[in-house]
Structures are given as structure tokens and as C-alpha cells.
Chains A and B, each alone.
Chain A
């Protein structure tokens, strides 16, 4: 299992002093190379789950193992390394820095990858841009691009360190139909490269493209609604 959550619980107190439990005993197992869709109503805990898997949030109780190793035992710096080398994150709002150019945006994860040599730096950025068909946009400012183009750059940034896992949090949420289809196609192309994809989506049309689907209830409970039951 590349990703395994056992009885994962996340609890926090909101601004009104009310206890919120977005994850309530979640069990999830994902094999390497699997494509998984996570669906559910707003505020059900989909993004929280992705944040836990992406090592940018921690569990209140339960266990999360990445590639067989319990994340709890990693230091913050080691978790930063995991985010850098094993996980690529794609966000709904693309998370690009608008005042920097495409090249600089894609380069950000590489700056923190100690395994990448200087001479490989440019080559890796070019390869990532080529994989999303944006090789001619390297010097363009992000704020000059369309929504679909920005999302492609966000995917290139997620791929530049060649991570095993891609986490996509509603990557098509802000796109028109044409761009939505092209982004989903792009993400599905990654399957041939052996990537594991977890995608949070509202869109049932897109979710139906996935063989494995999990659905959240408002009580923070996750259950499989499609594909092989783990």
C-alpha cells in the first residue's frame, strides 16, 4: 500500500468554540498506480483528508502510513522532504504565484529537492512543461494565462520532482467544460507513468471516470462507492 489510513480521526474547534470532526474513523487504502476519486458535500472533509495525506495537516488520532511508514514518526523537516519528493499537489485555485513567470513557478519544488543536480534543473522544468504542453510558455507571466493554462502549469509544478503521488483538490472546479475535459485527460495520461492519483471532486461526471470512488458523509465518514472494495 502506498497510502494507508486506519481509523483516522481529525477534530478541531472552530471560531464559535464548536467541535468539528471532518474525519471520523476513516479507513483508506490506496495501491501504487491507483486512481481514486473522493466525492462528497462541501465541508465533509475531502480536502482535510487530502491535506493529511499530503503531510500538511496531522491526525488527531488513528494512523497514516505512506509507503508502509507511519508519518507520525517523521519530523517536520522529513515531512517537508516527503511533500517535496513524493507528493505533487494540484489545487482548485492553481496556487500559482501571479507575479512570477511560468518557469519560476514550476521551479519552486526543485529549489528544495536536494537530490536534483544543478545541470538537471533546466532539463526537469522543460520536461514538466512539455508533459503538459506548455513548453512555449516558460517566460510568460502567470497573470497573462487563461484558467486552463494556469491549471496546466500547476500540474507541471506538481510533476517537476517526479513524485509518486498526485493529490488534486478539485482541479477542474474553476474551469469551463473544454478546459475541464483537457485537464482530466492530462491527469489520466499520468497513469501510464505509474503515478498514484487522489482527486477530490464535486463533479460526478468526472468522478465516474474513476474506477475507485470514495464518498464522504457529513459526519466525516468515508465509504467506497465504486470499484474494488479494499
Chain B
């Protein structure tokens, strides 16, 4: 209890530093979580499967909720480069991104197989090399998600191919919402209108450009000119090739932008964060010396003196994470949240704080105890 009182009083002693530590650990947590949710998740642990079996996977959203949300945003977002979260699935209870297999896109983007082959049946899947560390060609796993009615769905899938890549840029997210929309098909070309894509007689949902995902009736076919005429009052049409290239550029541009944002945010956050720890430690040098002189060990002195900063770090990290979660969920930004991301960021920042304290103390406060005490 006596040590607890001392720690609580230390909050006041270090009030300015604690405020900065809280604020900038929040910045690091915000940017860090945003980074992980936006970059890490769309680059690894990917399953590509054939959605022709009418299963709509939404591991984080119920389909009807998502549909309502997308509908409300559609009109506002048309014409703007704005993505909504890629959906995710469970792979043997683990988290993974998922994409719909699209032969046209796979070939166009020249994704190579490290082993195995393309998808031929509905119960087959392709995985990226990251997942390939756990599963081999021929292995089966349970793909789980939530269907369009909000029920849990599980399907057994067999790995038929492993891509060489662990990072892929894939213009489509998986998932589909059943609107009565047009079928757009002209020979080998794909045509696109406000999120609608069709490939031959299959259907594909697209989350690109912040638009809703549409199911395309496989039987209906239209000529390009007819479609263009029908849709001219709504917007422009793109060929499949144009669509892929545009979206690929957008994805790469977004990724680069995010990297710059992350590097700038984390650098700024870290410099102030570390600076505040340094100032606090150097300002309380004498106190550290007094503790050592009074019978504290090096470790117990650090624990007692830095605990208030650690608590401030935890508070700041939680606030930053809440901010990032809010932004990702409510501002319609690309990114998927998973509890492991939140924990990773939390532990990374708290461990960073502990390490910094230990290193700064070790380098600058290892001197003669009397020397420490005589320094104000």
C-alpha cells in the first residue's frame, strides 16, 4: 500500500511528462493500429476461394447490416476513391482475409503458384505463402463466416494451390449483396458500373471505389453498347482491364500513402514519447539516487519511479486504439480489425516503454549514487 501511494503521488510529480507520454502513446497506438489494420491484414494470410457456392462470408459484419450501411453510403461516395473494409473469414478459427477467385484477375496480375494449381471446384481454395507455412496443397481446413442471414457458416475447403506471394494486390474484396442489377458482359471483356463486375457467366462482388457489392445474374447477357445506353445517366463504364489497372494503382497508392502516414506519425510519436521518458528520468535522477541510498535495488527503484509512466502509457495506448477502431469502423476506411492487432499494438507500446526506461536508466543513472543525489 505504501508503494502504491508513492506511485499515485508520482503522477503529480511527473504531470507534464505523463501528459505527453499519454498523448503520444495514443498517437503511436492510433497510427500503429491503423497501420496494422490497413496494411498488414490486406497483405498476408489470404484465402482465395470460389464464391459460386452462394456462401457469403462476413466474419465481422452481418450481411444485412453491411448492406444497409453500404446502401446509405453509395450515393454519397460515387465517383470518389474510397474503399470499405475487405471482409475476412476464419480458417480453423484463425483470422484470414478472403478474396473471390477470378481467373481473369489472377492471370492479368501474373500471380504465380509456388505449388499446386488454380481453382477448379467450389470446395477448393488458393492460399498465399504466409498461410502456406501452415497448410500444404491437399490439406483441408474449415472456412467459417457468417452468411447473408447472419447465421454462422462453416465449410470444409481443400488447398489446391499456394501462391508465391505473401502480399497480393487484389482489386476485389469478397462478399456479395443481392441487388437487382444489370449483367454486364461482352465477350472476354469485363464491364463495370458502380461496383458491378461480371466475368463470363460467374458473378463477382467488388468493394472497390467504396461501392456496394452486387450479385450478377449469370444467365443474362448484354452487349456493351446496350449497357452503356442504359447506364449513361448513372455513370461511366470501364472495361475489366481498366478496372483492374485503376484499382491496382489505387491500392498501391493508398498503401504508399499509408506508409508515409505511419512513418511520420510513429516517428513524431516516438520522438516525443522517448523524449518525455528521458526528461522525466533525468529530472528525477536525485530521487533515484536517494532510493538507492535508502536501500532500494536498481530494479525496484525503476519499478517504483516509472510505474506512473507505464500506467500513462497504457491509458494513452488504449485511447489511441479506441480512436483507431472508431475511425476504421465509422469512417468507411479500408482495414479490418482483429483483437490480436489491438493486443499486438498494446503490448508493443508498453514493452517499448519498459525497454526505454531500462536503457535510459542503465546508460545515464548507473553512476555513483552520491553523484546522482548531488544532481538536482
Quick one: CB contact mask for A100-127 with B, threshold 8 Å, 1 for yes? Answer: 1000100111111100001001000000
B297: interface (CB < 8 Å): yes
Report B375 CB to chain A, min CB distance, Å: 10
B324: interface (CB < 8 Å): no
Which residues on the B side are within 8 Å of A157 (C-beta)? 294
B370/A111 in contact, CB under 8 A: no
Beyond A107-B2, A110-B2, A111-B6, whether A93 also contacts B374 by CB under 8 A is yes
Bound complex: CA of A113 vs CA of B300, how far in Å? 12
Bound complex: CA of A51 vs CA of B368, how far in Å? 10
Beyond A111-B3, A118-B2, whether A95 also contacts B295 by CB under 8 A is no
Bound complex: CA of A114 vs CA of B296, how far in Å? 11
Among B291, B293, B373, B376, chain A packs the most CB atoms within 10 A around the CB of B293
B142: interface (CB < 8 Å): no
Q: Kindly identify which residue among B2, B294, B298, B300 contacts A83, using a CB–CB cutoff of 8 Å.
A: B294
Bound complex: CA of A109 vs CA of B292, how far in Å? 9
Residues of chain A touching chain B, judged by Cβ–Cβ distance below 8 Å, are 47, 51, 54, 56-57, 76-77, 80-85, 89, 91, 93, 95-100, 104, 107-113, 118, 121, 157, 161
A109/B1 in contact, CB under 8 A: no
Bound complex: CA of A112 vs CA of B6, how far in Å? 12
Bound complex: CA of A57 vs CA of B298, how far in Å? 14
B287/A77 in contact, CB under 8 A: no
Beyond A51-B370, A98-B376, A121-B2, whether A80 also contacts B287 by CB under 8 A is no
Which residues on the A side are within 8 Å of B304 (C-beta)? 111
Report A41 CB to chain B, min CB distance, Å: 19
Q: List 20 A-B contacts (CB under 8 A).
A: A54-B293, A56-B293, A57-B368, A80-B292, A80-B295, A81-B295, A83-B292, A84-B295, A84-B296, A85-B295, A95-B289, A98-B376, A100-B9, A111-B2, A111-B6, A112-B295, A112-B296, A113-B295, A121-B2, A157-B294
B290/A95 in contact, CB under 8 A: yes
Which residues on the B side are within 8 Å of A96 (C-beta)? 290
Which residues on the A side are within 8 Å of B369 (C-beta)? 51, 56
Bound complex: CA of A100 vs CA of B13, how far in Å? 8
Which residues on the B side are within 8 Å of A93 (C-beta)? 373-374
B286: interface (CB < 8 Å): yes
Main secondary structure of the interface of A (DSSP, over half): helix
Q: Which 7 A-B pairs have the closest CB atoms?
A: A84-B295, A109-B294, A112-B295, A83-B295, A56-B369, A95-B373, A108-B294
Report B342 CB to chain A, min CB distance, Å: 35
Since A99-B13, A111-B2, A111-B6 are in contact, a sample of 14 more A-B pairs with Cβ atoms closer than 8 Å, ordered by chain A residue number, is A51-B368, A51-B369, A76-B298, A80-B292, A80-B295, A80-B297, A84-B296, A97-B290, A100-B13, A104-B6, A112-B291, A112-B296, A118-B1, A121-B2
**B284 closest partner in A (C-beta):** A97
Report B97 CB to chain A, min CB distance, Å: 51
Which residues on the A side are within 8 Å of B286 (C-beta)? 95, 97
Q: Kindly identify which residue among A85, A91, A100, A111 contacts B373, using a CB–CB cutoff of 8 Å.
A: A91
Beyond A97-B290, A100-B9, A121-B2, whether A56 also contacts B370 by CB under 8 A is yes
A97/B287 in contact, CB under 8 A: yes
Which residues on the B side are within 8 Å of A57 (C-beta)? 368
Beyond A95-B373, A111-B2, whether A80 also contacts B296 by CB under 8 A is yes
Residues of chain B touching chain A, judged by Cβ–Cβ distance below 8 Å, are 1-3, 6, 9, 13, 286-287, 289-298, 300, 304, 368-370, 373-374, 376
Report B18 CB to chain A, min CB distance, Å: 14
Among A85, A95, A100, chain B packs the most CB atoms within 10 A around the CB of A95
Report A31 CB to chain B, min CB distance, Å: 24
Report B61 CB to chain A, min CB distance, Å: 52
Bound complex: CA of A77 vs CA of B300, how far in Å? 10
Which residues on the B side are within 8 Å of A118 (C-beta)? 1-2
Bound complex: CA of A71 vs CA of B220, how far in Å? 93
Report A129 CB to chain B, min CB distance, Å: 16
Bound complex: CA of A77 vs CA of B299, how far in Å? 10
**A161 closest partner in B (C-beta):** B295
Which residues on the B side are within 8 Å of A56 (C-beta)? 292-293, 368-370
Q: Kindly identify which residue among A47, A82, A91, A108 contacts B291, using a CB–CB cutoff of 8 Å.
A: A108
Report B179 CB to chain A, min CB distance, Å: 66
Bound complex: CA of A54 vs CA of B374, how far in Å? 16
Which residues on the A side are within 8 Å of B2 (C-beta)? 107, 110-111, 118, 121
Report A118 CB to chain B, min CB distance, Å: 6
B292/A77 in contact, CB under 8 A: no
**A125 closest partner in B (C-beta):** B2
Report A167 CB to chain B, min CB distance, Å: 10
Which residues on the B side are within 8 Å of A110 (C-beta)? 2
Which residues on the A side are within 8 Å of B293 (C-beta)? 54, 56, 83, 89, 95
Report B12 CB to chain A, min CB distance, Å: 9
Report A99 CB to chain B, min CB distance, Å: 6
Among B13, B296, B300, B304, chain A packs the most CB atoms within 10 A around the CB of B296
Which residues on the B side are within 8 Å of A100 (C-beta)? 9, 13, 287
**A57 closest partner in B (C-beta):** B368
Which residues on the A side are within 8 Å of B1 (C-beta)? 118
Bound complex: CA of A109 vs CA of B291, how far in Å? 7
Q: Kindly identify which residue among B287, B297, B368 contacts A76, using a CB–CB cutoff of 8 Å.
A: B297
Bound complex: CA of A84 vs CA of B293, how far in Å? 8
